[in-house]
Amino acid sequence: MALAGAGVDGQGALINTGTGCMNSGFSGTTTLLGDTTIGCFSRIDFRGNVAGGGHTLTKIGGSELAVGVQVHNCPIVINAGNYTYMNALALGGADFDTTLNGGALRSYSTQTVTEHLICNGGIVRTTGTTAEGNGVRLGHYPQTRSFYNMMGGTLIVGQDYDLGCATDGIGWFNMTGGEVFAKRVMLNERTGGGGYGRLTVAGGTLNLGSLTGSDLAISNGIAVDAGGPYLVELGGAGGTIRAVTNVTVFLDAALNGVGAEAIHFDPAGWEITVSGNLSGDGGLNKTGAGTLTLSGNNTYAGPTRVLQGRLVRGAYAALPDMGEVLFGVTPDDAGGRLHADGDLALEGLVVGVANPEALDKSKHYTIATWGGGLISGFSGSVLPAPWFVYYDWPNKRAQLRAETGTMLWLR
């Protein structure tokens, strides 16, 4: 069978608009004579190899294209429905990329993906049931190199298995868009095997925590087998780390970008604890409800913007010395704030406002609360005039207030 083009009204050069499946499929070789659209309005099966000739195979239609054979010399584009690959070379091997603009990519068995997956839309869901078949393993044995560029769409690592960046080999998960759900990201899963894992979150949303409801922070988050070399980079063009359950970031990370371009930590009503050391020229944003606790020895140079929820200074060095802490203010005084259940020390911090255009001189804005005592106030300020910090000792809070006075007119 030879195919080319998009068919009548763009419905496909090969279509199935019937009510039944075509499980018996096409047993002979399918040859593409040009870029070809397949319209799976009901299921279509390929049971003979596909000779792509360098042309693009585009799948449309809400039903399934099941490929149990080899696809040679052919970039694949999935715009809708399921593309099911049941052969190790059903995505064309390493010769051309596979792009998901919609729909989903799935397999009935464990497969090793050797080409680039470009997720501009759609959903990729892993369903591995063992540690070796645990969804995503980059840089696997024997010392291979793997790169996963996440630019759009959705990746779901099922069964609460890891998104592994390196296992004996070198792996880089580079996220600039889309959305990922994984209980844990492991940067290096086999210490001593020569592996090196790299994680970049510069865009999109990385959701961490158990999808099955297991609330064990020690196994939810970002980690590495002890001693394994790794690199974590956060921010640069935005990007969000969001909690699905309580999570912990155990690893050191380099922060890039400031303001909206910096990384966003969103506990989403849970707790995120960052115990690794944060360095770099960038800053960070605390967004969403819930608590972000910083407890490392942090030296990052950019501002810390507390826009929503609570930020806990879990160690004195958790907020860089004389670093700017900028608070988001809201009309209902529900903006971000520093908090301690016990004593609170604000020494070594410079206070400011993340959204000064929202300041209203008739209102007071709470920026810090404590359950014990206030050990020390802010050491510096970049507040716009006439705003100052008012320490409300009886109510155990610090507020931003505007100086007011009486104006006399002389005639």
| Terminal-residue alpha carbon distance, the chain | 97
- For the chain, give the mean pLDDT: 90
Cα–Cα distance, 286 to 310 (Å, whole number): 8
φ, ψ at 220 (rounded to 5°):
-115, 125
Handedness of CA 379, 384, 387, 393 (dihedral sign): negative
DSSP 282: -
- Cis, bond preceding 142 (omega within 30 deg of 0): yes
Per-residue model confidence (pLDDT) at position 193 = 66
CA dihedral sign of residues 340, 207, 185, 160: positive
Provide the token pair at 183.
């209980």
Long-range contacts of 95-99 (CB under 8 A, 24+ apart): 96/52, 99/75
pLDDT at 121 over 80: no
Calpha distance 34→54 (Å, rounded): 8
Contact 206, 178 (CB under 8 A): no
pLDDT band at 236 (very low <50, low <70, confident <90, very high): very high
Res. 151 pLDDT band, cuts 50 70 90: confident
| 96-112 mean pLDDT | 82
For the ranges 118-122, 311-315, 386-390, which has the lowest average pLDDT? Answer: 118-122
State yes or no: pLDDT of 407 exceeds 50.
no
More confident residue, 24 or 380: 380
The separation between CA 234 and the C-alpha centre of its own chain, rounded to angstroms, equals 10
Give the tens place of pLDDT for each residue, 33-53. 999 999 999 999 998 899 999
Stated pTM of the model:
0.82
Is pLDDT at 23 greater than 60 in this prediction?
no
pLDDT at site 379: 98
Query: Span 80-103, mean pLDDT?
Result: 87
Segment 303-328 mean pLDDT: 97
Q: Please, are residues 208 and 244 in contact by the beta-carbon 8 Å criterion?
A: yes
| pLDDT score of 385 more than 70 | yes
Residue 391, beta-bridge partner list: 398
Q: Report the pLDDT value the prediction gives residue 122, as an integer from 0 to 100.
A: 77
Average confidence (pLDDT) over 260-287 = 98
Comparing 90 with 294, which gets the higher pLDDT? 294
